[in-house]
Amino acid sequence: MLEGHDYPRSRLLEAESLVAQFEAILSGDLNSARKDANDASHKGVSDHAHNVLKLHLAASELMSSRYNDAKQKIADEYSKVEAELLAELSTAQRYGDTAKMKEIVGLMSNFRGYGACVDQFILNAQKKAFIHPDVFQDVMPLTRKVANLVQKVFPYPECVMGKFVLHTLSVRIANHVTGQMQLSKDDFTSTTARQLHLARMAQLYTKTRRLCEELQEEIPMDIATKNQLRKVPKELFQPYIRTYQALEYSCMRTRLDELIRAYYQSIGHLRKSTTPSPLRDFRRGIQSKIAPMAATIINVAPSVKDYGGETFICETLAVNMLQELRESFERTSLILRGSDCGRQALALWELFLHKFVREHLLYGVHLGIKTIPVSQDHNQEPKQHFLRSVYQTNAIFHLVENTFYEEILPLLSGTAEEGRALRAKRESQSALEESIRIGLKRSIKSYTAWIRVLLEKQKYNEFLDHQTSPTARKVIMYTRNCITAFDESLDGQNQRQVMFEFGRRFHKALLSNIRRFRYSHNAGLGLLCDITEYRTIIAQLQLPIMIEVFDTLYKLCNLLIVPAENLLGILHGDAMSRIDAHVAREFIQLREDCRSHKLLAVLFPEAGG
């Protein structure tokens, strides 16, 4: 019963308070009205705020112009109350009064200025909160702290936190990014400054993206804000992304040029043109066909260069240039997306291939080819410097390939640029392989030509000592050096082909030298000593076909010392069954007793003696 009587009474008191507030607003005597309301309710500004809100709602329904003055006064009081509530919110927030903040937010939630209330709370929360030079260090600790407070104060905390996070990113982080980027953008006169700008951009972009990911995973907020966080990094860096691609390409090109130039300066080398020309190739071709002495007199080709063993191919330079490429690719994959990323990655890869492969590796290989003599100088032993060039080139390009397949190609996988990147690599590789093939072919010709020079100096008397001849020892020493260089510098199919061609030409040179003499029994024994050593050194090639060829040569040379009466049996024996009779006949002709014993007529009657 008492409760039934109290409810109408409270409604009556509320109506009286509301009327008193209305009269006070119209009369302009608000202070006494507020004091009376506060004394009656003991709730402070909240009752006055409730009354003003109700009056504002009631005034909005008054259509007659007679009440314009009253409506304006109510509107003015409404604005004052909003301002007072915002001020009280700031005070409560400053002193950490959570209960008071919750009360004020509850009141403000019915006012039009509730959005301003949220904004005021966000601004207050951020005041003096960023104490580190790197703003990113403060964002997550502050956001966690604010999220905990928002859960206690606001009726819809996810929406408030979404607004707080977006404000922090769009104002605090954006200002920090702009300031940092402007520091490096003010001076673009040097490559170092541009590199610093790109590195700073990548660093800030990475921090922004990681921050957005952390916020998305850890902080409770509305779905719309979470979805928008994925776009924030790109939106913040859009002014710099517009110029990024051209700047990255230009900076990498300049940096690669600087690295190449610094390397050649460090070894005191002035770059020369190595571009092949038809005239130069024609002149070298003529010189390779004519006698060495005539070539020297006529001077139809440029002289052979000697760079003191320098290959002009540097692994350290390769590592440094690859590092530049990696850093550019990391920034590209971080900052760009979709087709822009693919196009930029392809452009950087093609630039690297041009600068490193064509302007450094190919240049070094071409200089190495220049050190190979075309016509043999009888006084100068050809060195194996070009083989070191081949070894370094293969090792370095293998490193480039690994980087391409492990780090670059995955970035282009499934894009239109993937095929073009593979094609660019194959073209560069083919250019290197072709130059190396030319150089190896010339090297083998040069090495075996020197062996011919050594053999041409051999005298008949050297065979009479029944031991390895001085000439053979020189040939063996040089051949061993060549084979060692093949082992150390080449591998795989390339090595087998070079060793086979070297062995074939070496065998041909030996045959030519053997045919220069007529052999007595003692000389034949001396020759067999030489051939035995040649067989031993050729066995190091580890090519069964070459071992068989030199075994056959030994058998043929053995015909020079066999007693005449035993030759017929040997020629028809198993050991000679696979040797052509014409070749055997040539060797028997080299015996001193061939004519005196009429060996050809006896052994080869079908050939007409």
pLDDT surpasses 80 at 358: yes
For 521-539, the DSSP string reads HHHHHHHHHHHHHHHHHHH
pLDDT surpasses 50 at 296: no
pLDDT at 8: 59
At 225, the amino acid letter reads T
Name the pLDDT band for 293 (thresholds 50, 70, 90).
very low
CATH class of 457-607: mainly alpha
- How far apart CA 289 and CA 384 sit, in angstroms, is 23
> Do residues 187 and 317 touch, judged by C-beta distance below 8 A?
no
> Do residues 294 and 360 touch, judged by C-beta distance below 8 A?
no
pLDDT at 297: 35
Using only the alpha carbons of the chain, give its radius of gyration: 47
List pLDDT tens digits, range 458-499: 999 999 988 999 999 999 999 999 999 999 999 989 899 999
List pLDDT tens digits, range 313-357: 999 999 999 999 999 999 999 999 888 999 999 999 999 999 999
- Phi–psi pair at 591, nearest 5 degrees: -75, 140
pLDDT at 604: 76
Least confident of 72-76, 293-297, 427-431, 583-587: 293-297
> Which CA distances in Å does 464 have to 469, 542, 562, 595?
9, 31, 16, 21
Name the pLDDT band for 12 (thresholds 50, 70, 90).
very low
Percent of the chain clearing pLDDT 90 (strictly above): 60
Name the pLDDT band for 190 (thresholds 50, 70, 90).
confident
Name the pLDDT band for 47 (thresholds 50, 70, 90).
low
Name the pLDDT band for 74 (thresholds 50, 70, 90).
low
Residue matched to tokens 């053999």: 455
Query: Measured at the alpha carbon of residue 189, what is the angle toward residues 187 and 194, in degrees to the nearest 5?
Result: 70
List pLDDT tens digits, range 152-161: 999 999 999 9
Token pair belonging to 357: 């492969």
Name the pLDDT band for 41 (thresholds 50, 70, 90).
very low
CB count, 10 Å around CB of 105?
21
- How far apart CA 394 and CA 365 sit, in angstroms, is 11
pLDDT at 113: 73
pLDDT surpasses 60 at 171: yes
Average pLDDT over the chain reads 84
pLDDT surpasses 70 at 144: yes
pLDDT at 112: 79
pLDDT surpasses 80 at 414: yes
Q: Which residue has the higher pLDDT, 12 or 220?
A: 220
- How far apart CA 457 and CA 461 sit, in angstroms, is 12
- How far apart CA 505 and CA 515 sit, in angstroms, is 16
pLDDT at 575: 84
Helix (H/G/I), strand (E/B), else coil: 519: strand
The predicted model gives 294-318 an average pLDDT of: 68
Sequence-ordered list of residues with C-beta below 8 angstroms from that of 216, at least 6 positions apart, any chain:
226, 229, 230
Task: Look up the pTM and report it.
Answer: 0.78
